[in-house]
Structure 1
């Protein structure tokens, strides 16, 4: 499924490492006031959306005390640890609406 940004979960205690990665990846933070990336400090602790543009593309982060429970999804020879879809649906209203619309359009979809 195409996406405009990768969404990740980051523990608050890993914030300094995450900020260092953002800096190395030429990150720029989303500035809602100007509706563009840039002009704000990178650190997640600073006010603003947890959304950045990096040389790898856009990134959104959910900052949390502990990482959510994950399941393993395999694609080809690679494994990815992801949050179960039902958990995403329960915690993210935008994702819930997207899934609802998808299920309405897709005959025989599960859920």
Structure 2
């Protein structure tokens, strides 16, 4: 494969990656989330509000995926934050990202009702 073909293949992979995250954002919105993809790679970042109205910040970077909820700025000092390890999180595929963001949001919901 020549350099131009490699560049085209890399660009296509990047477009598919971004497209899959945008599809996930649409799915989250249809489930009552207000979500915006603010960065698609290195790190992957999604911001908005959970269905309950609490603001959130989701980030996948290096080998860590985290969800911060509440506070004046959930990206900086959230009221609640949880993280999980994930190899190559900076390029987290949307399908895996959906599993993690929903699992962490569920954990937040469970802890906020019992705490």
- TM-score with structure 1 setting the length: 0.24
More helix by share: 2
Higher-RCO chain (CA-CA 8 Å, sequence separation at least 6)? 1
- TM-score with structure 2 setting the length: 0.23
Structure label with greater radius of gyration: 1
